[in-house]
Structure 1
């Protein structure tokens, strides 16, 4: 009976210390060893454009600079095109970005640009003139001890590249 109690106590302590050491490994994610991933909007595809509703696919790429794989639990985003809100939403797709690797994924978007039509037409009058865009949002990473990585990117697109001849 005494040996059985000792065995259970030793087993319990072993499990406890195993969990503690596992959490210590996770703390490197939460603390200074973790480097934020780089998130980029790499492509916008027009799926269908009607007068009152437009369907786009936004393609994002996440680069993981860390030595461990990075679980991603979702993405919240807002995309502005020339100060006009093009899209806003959330993707709850789960995936893992390999250590020192990257992962690309698509987010379907539905929007109504009717109230901004005048601004958009004016911007498209000069198809060789760049139009500024802004991407803001956050990526939800990790599993139990996740963190949100905020992102903000500015850039330009040349509308002539997207207009069919």
Structure 2
């Protein structure tokens, strides 16, 4: 009986030590961790109907950290100038971004911009000026103990990058 209680104490002490060291190492890692940079590199128009528009968004995620970044999905918003192109986008793609490297990926999107069609057409007519964009959201990272890392990036797309179409 005493031996069994002793083993239980040793196990519980070992478990508490493991959890405490994991928590300490996680807080240390958080101080050195830099959030990834998410860029919108192209908006490909697949189909543009009156009630439904299909796009393929091309992204590049850059990892500014010295360790690889396992990505298990993302939630995002995309704005073009003052127009919200995607308000609650989600991707469940999984890939790993190398340390100090980047990874490119595509996300298909279907939207209904019927009410915003006039401002979108006006925006696309500005062929000679770049179109400002903002992409923001959260990257879901990790394997066993995942976490959500927020990101926000402002950039510009040229007219060619915006109007690329997939026949």
Compute the TM-score of the two structures, normalised by the length of structure 1.
Answer: 0.75
SS of aligned partner of 2:100: coil
- Residue 150 (structure 2) pairs with residue 149 (structure 1): yes
Report the CA distance shift for 1:146/1:86 in structure 2 as closer, same or farther (over 3 A): same
Q: Which residue is equivalent to 2:83? A: 84
Aligned residues: 162
Tell me how far 1:106 sits from its aligned partner: 1.4
User: Is residue 128–residue 160 contact of structure 1 (8 Å, CA) maintained in 2?
Assistant: no
Q: Determine the structure 2 residue equivalent to 1:125.
A: 125
For residues 88-114 of structure 1, the C-alpha deviation after alignment (integer angstroms, 9 at most, x for no partner) is 311122222222222222111101122
Runs of 4+ that moved beyond 6 A? 5-16
Distance in 1 (CA, whole Å) between partners of 2:125 and 2:12 is 72
Distance in 2 (alpha carbons) for counterparts of 1:95 and 1:111: 25
Equivalence for 1:38: 37
Unmatched runs of 5 consecutive residues or more in structure 2:
none
Matched with 1:116 is: 116
Q: State the alpha-carbon separation in 2 of the partners of residues 137 and 146 from structure 1.
A: 13
TM-score with structure 2 length normalisation?
0.75
What SS is found at the alignment partner of 1:135?
strand
Deviation at 1:71, TM superposition (A): 1.8
Larger RCO (CA within 8 A; separation ≥ 6): 2
